């Protein structure tokens, strides 16, 4: 079999079958990047697949991957691709196959030689119709496997300007298990919104999404709007750091200040993550997109303002709780956009002497509510009837930081959040517990 070597200066624009774009599969980020690299090495007039030799160090440099275990991680990804299934559906059949048929690792060498499964030929060779052109200069910058998949699905529909997905179908396409992000809120925060920010900040597309068709209160569809940016140039983003989690993006970046302004551009994913923390806490959920713009504007001017915003919001929520305690009909909560644009987080709420006891009662009520929640969880039907599945130790050390109305917020790292979502989704929903990532 003829051997083709990876040359990063030759990897640019390539055709991808629409059937392959819409296929059902689940890959890690390194696996997805290997597949895209192999696809880009296929030339339009190839009569057959070839053996694709990829120098691991050159591959890592192309994608801006850093670390001490690059060779081991790429080899691991290549091995796992042999077993990773892909499901391709059309009107006449459903095809189950693997991405690659072989992976060869010569001793003492830092390259891998991969071969596609022969049954992928109709989807990669001699494409005459139903394909989409993709450019690696845009894909290379995306740091989440979900961002890559959603980008390709939206690029396919660019000429139509929008694409509607049934939520269950989109989950299948992205390889999201039923136990992962079971609530639409979790899917939006951890997948859709992160992909939106990633795609808008690093590719030639400008996208946004809204809820589509509903059945009662249940949202059944998500509608993406798709526009092409003008005059966008891609780059290899050499300074980009490899994400540590294969399916989610690392957030945060080095930022500084100069005369109240950020001296480096703030990572869009970090801004989105921080905004979602703000949004969970804000008591009036209206005009989210306008609020997001106002929040990002403030954070872009000075990333350190986040703590001021959150502390100010805590004070504002306490003020609201005090007013409602005194008058149950009180309803003068500012729109989030108004609150942010007016920098209301600097407001001071003085409590009159005669109202101090009321404020103290509000604080004590919140503490009591948190203690009461622990009792409810521990004594719930699920924990008593299914001790082999539900374990109180998973909850006892969690820090429930805020209570707003009948909602609870717990800040935790991504590992704990994933565990709670997969194992206790019913408990979280039953008791109105919302998770906020603090890493």
The encoded tokens of residue 113 equal 């030689």
- In degrees, rounded to 5, the angle at the alpha carbon of residue 26 between the alpha carbons of residues 21 and 29 is 90
Residue % of the chain over a pLDDT of 70: 78
Under 8 Å between Cβ of 175 and 24: yes
Higher-confidence position of 402 and 258: 402
Under 8 Å between Cβ of 301 and 351: no
φ, ψ dihedrals at 15, nearest 5°:
-95, 140
User: Which residues have a Cβ under 8 Å from the Cβ of 99 and sit 6 or more positions away?
Assistant: 25, 31, 35, 81, 82, 84, 86, 116, 117, 120
Instruction: Quote the mean pLDDT of the chain.
Output: 78
Burial 281-317 (b: 16+ CB within 10 A, else e): bbbeeeeeeebbebbbebbbeebebbeebbebbebbb
Distance, CA of 267 to CA of 381 (rounded, Å): 43
Across the range 289-308, mean pLDDT stands at 87
Higher-confidence position of 74 and 373: 74
Higher-confidence position of 294 and 60: 294
Across the range 99-126, mean pLDDT stands at 88
pLDDT at 165: 94
pLDDT in tens, 310-343: 888 888 887 777 776 666 566 678 899 999 998 8
Q: Give me the CATH code for the 141-234 domain, please.
A: 1.10.10.10
Which overall architecture, per CATH, does domain 1-126 show? Orthogonal Bundle (1.10)
- Using CA atoms of 99, 56, 6, 35 in order, give the dihedral in degrees to the nearest 10: 20
The encoded tokens of residue 63 equal 């994608």
Q: What burial class does residue 377 get, using C-beta atoms within 10 Å of its C-beta: 0-12 exposed, 13-18 middle, 19+ buried?
A: buried
Sorted by where each begins, the domain ranges of the chain are 1-126, 141-234, 260-437
24: Cα within 13 Å, side-chain hemisphere? 15
Higher-confidence position of 237 and 12: 12
Higher-confidence position of 343 and 421: 343
Under 8 Å between Cβ of 205 and 155: yes
57: Cα within 13 Å, side-chain hemisphere? 3
Across the range 115-121, mean pLDDT stands at 91
The encoded tokens of residue 162 equal 């929008």
């Amino acid at each position: 079999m003829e051997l083709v070597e990876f040359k990063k200066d030759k990897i640019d624009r390539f055709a991808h079958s629409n059937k392959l774009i819409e296929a059902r599969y689940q890959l890690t980020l390194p696996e997805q990047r290997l597949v895209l690299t192999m696809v880009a090495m296929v030339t339009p007039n190839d009569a057959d697949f070839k053996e694709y030799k990829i120098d691991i160090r050159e591959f890592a440099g192309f994608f801006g991957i850093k670390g001490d275990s690059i060779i081991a991680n790429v080899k691991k990804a290549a091995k796992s691709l042999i077993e990773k299934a892909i499901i391709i559906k059309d009107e006449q059949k459903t095809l189950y196959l693997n991405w690659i048929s072989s992976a060869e690792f010569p001793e003492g060498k830092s390259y891998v030689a991969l071969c596609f499964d022969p049954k992928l030929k109709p989807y990669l060779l001699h494409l005459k119709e139903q394909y989409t052109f993709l450019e690696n200069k845009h894909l290379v910058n995306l740091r989440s496997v979900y961002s890559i998949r959603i980008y390709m699905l939206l690029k396919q529909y660019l000429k139509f300007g929008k694409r509607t997905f049934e939520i269950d179908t989109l989950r299948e396409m992205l390889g999201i298990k039923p136990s992962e992000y079971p609530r639409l809120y979790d899917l939006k925060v951890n997948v859709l919104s992160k992909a939106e920010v990633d795609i808008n900040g690093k590719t030639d597309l400008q996208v946004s999404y809204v809820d589509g068709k509903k059945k009662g209160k249940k949202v059944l569809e998500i509608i993406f709007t798709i526009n092409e940016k003008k005059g966008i140039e891609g780059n290899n983003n050499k300074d980009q750091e490899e994400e540590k989690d294969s399916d989610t993006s690392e957030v945060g970046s080095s930022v500084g200040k100069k005369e109240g302004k950020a001296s480096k551009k703030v990572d869009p994913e970090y801004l989105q993550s921080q905004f979602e923390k703000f949004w969970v806490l804000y008591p009036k959920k209206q005009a989210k997109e306008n609020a997001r713009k106002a929040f990002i504007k403030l954070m872009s001017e000075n990333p350190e303002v986040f703590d001021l915003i959150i502390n100010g919001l805590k004070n504002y929520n306490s003020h609201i709780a005090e007013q409602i305690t005194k008058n149950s009909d009180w309803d003068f909560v500012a729109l989030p956009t108004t609150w942010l644009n007016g920098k209301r987080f600097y407001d001071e709420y003085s409590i009159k002497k005669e109202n101090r006891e009321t404020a103290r009662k509000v604080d004590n009520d919140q503490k009591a509510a948190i203690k009461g929640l622990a009792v409810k969880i521990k004594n719930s039907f699920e924990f008593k009837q299914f001790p082999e599945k539900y374990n109180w130790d998973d909850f006892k050390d969690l820090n429930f930081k805020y209570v707003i109305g009948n909602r609870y917020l717990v800040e935790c790292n991504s590992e704990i959040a994933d565990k709670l979502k997969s194992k206790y989704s019913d408990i979280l929903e039953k008791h109105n517990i919302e998770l906020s990532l603090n890493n």
